[in-house]
Structure 1
Amino acid sequence: MSAGKPTTCKDAVRRWEEENSQEASSALEVSLIFQSPPIERMDNSLAVLSSCERLSLSTNMIEKIAGVSSLKKLRVLSVSRNQIKGFSGLETLGDSLEELWISYNAIEKLKGVTALRSLKVLYMSNNLVREWNEFARLQEMPSLQDLGFTGNPITDGLETEQWRTEVARRLPNLVKLDGEPLIHAGDEEEDEGCQDSNYHPR
C-alpha cells in the first residue's frame, strides 16, 4: 500500500485479525483506531463484524458514519477524533446502540440523533453545536443518562453552574453531565428532607 493512500476498512479489519490472531466475525470487541494511513471512509466491509458489541474507529479521518447497518449486536460505537459532520448512518442501530462516543468532530446539527432510541451515553464534547434549538433534540431521547458536551460553542460565555442548570432544566432524565452527577431542582429538596429527618442510611 503506497504512503498517502487511505487505509480501507477491509485492510484495517484484516490487519486487526493478523494482530489478534482471531476471526473478526467472532470478535465481541474490535478496535480500528489510529490507522496509518488513516481510514477516510466507513463502508460495507464492516459487515463482517457480525458479533461485535464494541467497535472503535477513533483517531482517523472519517467524514461520515456508514457501513454499520448490519451490526445488530453493536452496543458501543466510538468514532471520536475524526471529521464527522452529523448523525446520519446510525438509524438502523436505533434499538441496539447504548453508547456513542463522538467527541472531537465537526458536528453542528443534532438532526438524526433521536433515532437512537436506546442510547444511554452520548459523549460529544468539542464539536460545533452552538444553538439551543439543536440541543433541544436531546429532549426526545428519554433513555439518555450520561452526556458529555463541554467544548461546544453553546457553552461559551456560560459559567459552569449556569450551563449545568440550563441542561438540568431541559433534560430532566439526565443523571450525569460532563463527567459529574447532575443535580436537578427536585433532587436538592429531597436531599434536604433526608438531612432533616432521623433517617441515617448505612
Structure 2
Amino acid sequence: MANPYFAKEAPETYWKTSTDLPSFPALQEDTECDVTIIGGGITGITTAYELTKRGFRVVLIEANQVLNGTTAHTTAKITAQHDMIYDEFIRNFGLNHARLYYEANQNAVDYIKGIIDEHQINCEWTEQDAYLYTANENAVQKIRTEHEAYTKLEIERDLIKDLPIPLGSKLALVMKNQAQFHPLQYLKALLEQIVQKG
C-alpha cells in the first residue's frame, strides 16, 4: 500500500482545512539576502523568524506551498516525551547527557509558549500531560524502568493504571506539563511577522 504522505497530494488534515494559509509568488529573478532557507515547515519558518528578528535579510524557499508537508500532518503535541528513550539515554550516554536532552526539549516547549504570549497568537495552545502506556502485560516492566529514569532525571511524572480514555491500559507513564497547539495557526502568525520585517 502506498504511503499517503508521499503521494502527489497529501491527504487533508484538520490543521489545513481550518487554516487559510498564505501563498507567495515564485522567485522569478535574482535577489540578494544574508541567508537562504530551504523548506517552509516549522524548522524553516522558525529559523526565518529568528533571523529576521535580528535584522538579517532572509529568503525562504519552498518547492510547493508553505506548511504543506510534515508540519501539516503532525500530531501537534509539544513534548519532551518521545517514546521510551530516557532509560536508554542514561545507559548509553550517561545521566548528564540524558538530562541535557530533556532540558533542551522542555526549553523548546517554553520557547514556543513565549512566542505565543509575545504575539498573542490564537493557536489553541493548551497544557496537556503526555502519556506512554501499554496494553500488554509483558511491557509493564519497560514502563516501570522508564519511570525510574524519569525519577533519576527529576522529570515531573506520574505512574498510573487508568488513562483518561479507555484503551485497556495495564500501566501508563505521565510526563507532566507538556502541551498541544494548532501548528499552522501558530506558524501563519510567524510568517506574518517575517513578512512585516521584509
The TM tier, using the shorter chain, reads under 0.3
Q: Which has the higher strand share?
A: 2
State the TM-score, normalizing by the size of structure 1: 0.27
Where is the helix percentage greater, Structure 1 or Structure 2?
2
Q: Which has the higher contact order (CA 8 A, sep 6+)?
A: 2
